[in-house]
Amino acid sequence: MNTLRLNAQQGQDIVTAADLLQQGKLVAVPTETVYGLAADASNPSAVSGIFTAKGRPANHPLIVHLHAITAMTNWAKDIPAAAWQLAEAFWPGPLTLLLPKADHVSPVITGGLNSIGLRMPAHPALLQVLQLNQLAVAAPSANRYKKLSPTSAEQVLAGLHGRIDAVLDGGECEHGVESTIVDLTGEPIRIVRAGPITASQLQAVLKTTVLQPQQHQAQVPGNVDAHYQPNTPLRCLDSAQLHALLLEQPSNIAVLHLNALPTAQAGIICKQMPTDAAGYASQLYRQLYQADKLGVTAIWCELPPQGEAWLAVHDRLRRAQHSAY
């Protein structure tokens, strides 16, 4: 299959992307979090193509991306007031709501679950695509199963060239990590995947407690431990461990660091990461992808600080590393 490269700056290419989706094709699209691999959510056979292209197990549920807040009622039922409040406050934006699915929704989308994940994305090019035909698209991150989520069209093509019909190039993603997922199907409301929007932000809107587990919830199919992995082994180290190891003069290593390194190191490729959580998150997958291309034997990453703002980064680092830290 030839993968068409479309440019989100061109109006005609936006129309082409919308038409391809309507015809049941697979199109990788930019979102404000990471690139998604989209198919028309009302077309189960198109949606099943996503699993083939990614090599993703069929029981892993997909998020449906909406063109408007009101479209929630097309996909979910028994929608609680909290869902409308959160949608009004954070959509379009990096927040996915888990709700009871509407009866007609295909199990291909939900992996056989009774719930459905919904979000209205904020990237203007994707919103235009969705609004043209009032389309809803099922879209997981546009990577091969277990690999890093892509934050650029180049990264999408590195994994999926020849396996999908098109990619719409909308530039680098703003947030760089996947949306916060919040479960509204039971009480208390809980975050099941940390992301750009924190529990405190949700609580400020809802005026009620939102649980934020420190570890991700593995009971959801697809929310697995080993995930988002670069090909090169990643090792997360605190500053003291990192500095001690660097004294042993290793070579052929890439280092993603926050604090200044003790001395200049031959044979080591260093990248200073942003010291704020949002900046760090926006660079994380991009820098792991770049490091992967260097042919080094390992990537060493200096652990960032703790704190609510850093939860999404710690979650992704923990899963990107080949063992727990």
Residues that bind Mg ion (CB under 5 A): 141
Q: Does 110 bind ligand TXA (CB under 6 A)?
A: yes
**Distances, alpha carbon 189 to alpha carbons 86, 101, 102, 169, 309, in Å:** 12, 17, 20, 36, 19
Q: Is 304 in the site for ligand TXA (CB under 6 A)?
A: no
Two tokens at 23?
């015809």
Helix (H, G, I), strand (E, B) or coil at 264: coil
Out of 220, 255, 291, 296, which residue is the one contacting ligand TXA (CB under 6 A)? 220
In the complex, minimum distance from the CB of residue 219 to ligand TXA, in angstroms, rounded to a whole number: 9
Site for ligand TXA in 2-61 (CB under 6 A): 31, 33-34, 36, 60-61
116 binds ligand TXA (CB under 6 A): yes
Residue with tokens 């923990």, as numbered in its chain: 318
Alpha-helix runs per DSSP H in the chain = 11-22, 44-54, 72-75, 81-90, 107-110, 124-132, 153-160, 199-206, 239-247, 277-292, 311-320
CA 121 – CA 114 distance, rounded (Å): 23
Rounded to the nearest whole angstrom, what is the least distance from the CB of residue 292 to ligand TXA in the complex? 19
Please tell me whether residue 171 binds ligand TXA under the rule CB under 6 A.
Answer: no
| Smallest separation (angstroms) from ligand TXA to the CB of 63 | 5
Closest residue to bound Mg ion by CB: 141
Q: Residue 185: count other Cβ atoms within 10 Å of its Cβ.
A: 18
Residue with Cβ nearer Mg ion (48 or 229): 229
The sign of the torsion formed by the CA atoms of 95, 98, 101, 102 equals negative
Q: Kindly tell me which residue out of 13, 165, 169, 178 binds ligand TXA, with binding defined by CB under 6 A.
A: 178
Q: Which stretch binds ligand TXA (CB under 6 A): 12-20, 68-76, 107-115, 236-244?
A: 107-115
HSE-CB at 267 with a 13 A cutoff on CA atoms is 9
Q: Which does 304 bind (CB under 5 to 8 A by kind): ligand TXA, Mg ion, none?
A: none
Q: Does 136 bind ligand TXA (CB under 6 A)?
A: no
In angstroms, the CA 63 to CA 137 distance is 8
Q: Which residues contact ligand TXA by CB under 6 A?
A: 31, 33-34, 36, 60-63, 94, 96, 98, 110, 113, 115-117, 139-141, 178-179, 181, 220, 222-223
